[in-house]
A = this chain, B = another copy of it.
Amino acid sequence: MKDHHKQRKNIVNRLAKIEGHVRSVKDMASNERDCGDLLIQIAAIRSALDSCGKLILKDHLEGCVSEALKKGDETVIKKLNVAIDQFIR
């Protein structure tokens, strides 16, 4: 892991948990579990994804963006704005 991605291990772990959560909801759907239960689990996965996305954004700002701006590279802001437009509704 590069130094400027302090949270990457944490982010990978969170994504691994989310992957397992999606798999278990898929199994619930196969096993004819109640639709309401599925919806509640999907809302929980979405919430975990949002938290993970926020962590990626903060890690990016503290690391990559901060370093690039110190070097006078402003293109990083433009690139990040594209991602923010999609991530924040």
Contact = CB atoms under 8 A, between A and B. Distances in A.
Interface of A: 1-2, 5, 8, 11-12, 15-16, 18-19, 22-23, 25-26, 29-30, 32, 34-40, 42-46, 49-50, 52-53, 56-57, 59-60, 64, 79-80, 82-84, 86-87
Q: How many copies altogether?
A: 2
Given A19-B26, A29-B8, A36 B1 contact: no
Contacts of A22: 15, 18-19, 22
A85 B88 CA distance: 21
B87 A39 contact: yes
Contacts of A40: 82-83, 86-87
